[in-house]
Amino acid sequence: MADTASLSTATDGVEGGVGLTALLVAAARAIETHRPDSLAQDAYAEHFVRGAEASAHWPVRPDQAPGGDASPLWGRFARYFGLRTRVLDDFLLRSVRTAGARQVVLLGAGLDARAFRLDWPSDCVIFEIDREAVLAFKHKVLDSVSAEPGAARVPIGADLRDDWAGALTAAGFDTTIPTVWLVEGLLFYLPPAAETALIDTVDRLSAPGSALAYEVKLEKDLTEYRDSPLYTSTRQELGIDLLGLFSREPRPDSAARLTDRGWTASVHTPFDFTRRLGRGPLPEENDALAGNRWVFADRTGAT
């Protein structure tokens, strides 16, 4: 019994298991912030990295990154996260400023500091869902730097494999208000049934005018890129075995599911945005990013 409890404490927060991936993204955002050609600014990211024992020694600036831009981990993979951050920042801000969404829901929010660093309309509400222990770490760090959100922020501790809709509505989410949903760097960790349930829940809770962005991996066999420089360096340099954390079961076609329910969806490779913004990863041989897709969907018309 004691063993089980200590095991789950180690993997529930950011210090182990899938929680460590939130620190990996934070380190990439910290480095991106200090690049001369930065695509996104996140002043909180380095505080998260320094605030956890597991990552206290990781680089938070380009000149601290072993291998620099040539590194598959701190160069190419970190640039991937920088690009993703910028593209999804733009998507969220466009959704609230021009499309009129007034609720933002970050599913698997991790150490995403958008509530604190982006310029939100004052009547916006930002809901953040992640596991309780990840949010507890996040709040400890944010409190230590006296961070103040730029809009109302409602953190919700929940497991996204369970029924989380009740917790969201109990926290004040309003199904009549257009919402922008973000599922960044989460779905590949969930079993396919949980992904489908999540998409169905987003559909059910979305008023007309809502929008959704999410990230998926299309590979039929994720182990195809087992020996890629990106997976290998992440495993060897940080001890994070991404393939060991991903769900390996066949993935659902969530874009088709949304389209069947009246959403319009567009599917992009990250490389599309590298070309558009002028920096970020491009395709290479044996590429762990080859199957990554960023999907943007809109719910128009009547429910």
Ligand X SMILES: C[S@@+](CC[C@H](N)C(=O)[O-])C[C@H]1O[C@@H](n2cnc3c(N)ncnc32)[C@H](O)[C@@H]1O
Structure tokens at 254: 């969530």
* Cβ-contact 199, 294 below 8 angstroms: no
Residues in 177-196 that interact with ligand X by CB under 6 A: 184-186, 189
Contact flags string 195-234 toward ligand X, x per CB under 6 A? ----------------------------------------
287 lines the binding site for ligand X (CB under 6 A) = no
Q: Please give the Cα distance from 138 to 144 (Å, whole number).
A: 10
Tell which one of 40, 101, 105, 134 touches ligand X (CB under 6 A). Answer: 134
* Cβ-contact 279, 79 below 8 angstroms: yes
124 lines the binding site for ligand X (CB under 6 A) = no
Q: Please give the Cα distance from 204 to 257 (Å, whole number).
A: 13
Residue whose tokens read 């993935």: 251
Residues in 92-111 that interact with ligand X by CB under 6 A: 108-111
Of 13-21, 34-42, 226-234, 258-266, which segment contacts ligand X by CB under 6 A? 13-21
Minimum CB separation of residue 176 from ligand X in Å reads 26
Backbone phi and psi for residue 23, each to the nearest 5 degrees, phi listed first: -70, -35
Please name which of 80, 138, 134 lies closest in space to residue 114, comparing C-alpha atoms.
138
Minimum CB separation of residue 136 from ligand X in Å reads 12
58 lines the binding site for ligand X (CB under 6 A) = no
25 lines the binding site for ligand X (CB under 6 A) = yes
Residue whose tokens read 């002043």: 43
* Cβ-contact 107, 183 below 8 angstroms: yes
Residue 152 β-bridge partners: 125
Residues in 151-170 that interact with ligand X by CB under 6 A: 159-161
Q: Which residues bind ligand X (CB under 6 A)?
A: 18-19, 21-22, 25, 108-112, 130-131, 134, 159-161, 184-186, 189
